[in-house]
Amino acid sequence: MLNKPTSPIKASTQAFIEIEEIRDDIVLLRDYSAITIIEVGAVNFWLLSHEEQVSMIYAYSSLLNSLSFPIQILILSKKMDISSYLDYLKEKISLQANPLLKTQLINYQEFIKNIVKKNVVLEKRFFFVVPFSPLELGITGVNPSSLKKEYVISRAKTSLYPKRDNLLRLIRRIGLQASVLSGQQIVELFYNLFNPSPTGRRLGPFESYTDVILSSV
CB 81 within 8 A of CB 199: yes
> What is the spatial distance between Cα 209 and Cα 186, in angstroms, rounded to a whole number?
15
H/E element holding 126? strand 122-132
Q: Give the residue, 25 or 8, on which the prediction is more confident.
A: 25
Give the three-state DSSP class for 75. Answer: strand
Per the structure, the count of domains in the chain is: 2
Mean pLDDT across the stretch 134-162?
A: 85
Q: Give the residue, 117 or 153, on which the prediction is more confident.
A: 153
Mean pLDDT across the stretch 48-72?
A: 91
Mean pLDDT across the stretch 132-155?
A: 82
The pLDDT score that the predictor gives to residue 47 is 81
Do 130 and 204 fall into the same domain? yes
Residue 156 lies in a domain: yes
Residue 1 lies in a domain: no
Q: Is the pLDDT of residue 78 over 90?
A: no
Q: Is the pLDDT of residue 103 over 70?
A: yes
First to last CA, the chain: 38
CB 157 within 8 A of CB 34: no
CB 121 within 8 A of CB 79: yes
Do 107 and 127 fall into the same domain? no
The pLDDT score that the predictor gives to residue 212 is 55
Q: Is the pLDDT of residue 49 over 70?
A: yes
Mean pLDDT across the stretch 180-204?
A: 81
Q: Is the pLDDT of residue 9 over 60?
A: no
The pLDDT score that the predictor gives to residue 74 is 93
The pLDDT score that the predictor gives to residue 217 is 45
What is the percentage of the chain residues whose pLDDT exceeds 90?
36
The pLDDT score that the predictor gives to residue 153 is 92
The amino acid sitting at 104 is Q
Mean pLDDT across the stretch 97-126?
A: 84
Do 50 and 73 fall into the same domain? yes
CB 39 within 8 A of CB 125: yes
Q: Is the pLDDT of residue 37 over 90?
A: yes
CB 195 within 8 A of CB 64: no
Going by pLDDT thresholds of 50, 70 and 90, the confidence category of residue 126 is very high
Do 64 and 156 fall into the same domain? yes
The pLDDT score that the predictor gives to residue 198 is 61
Domain of residue 131: give its range. 16-78+123-208
Q: Is the pLDDT of residue 199 over 70?
A: no
Residue 215 lies in a domain: no
Residue 214 lies in a domain: no
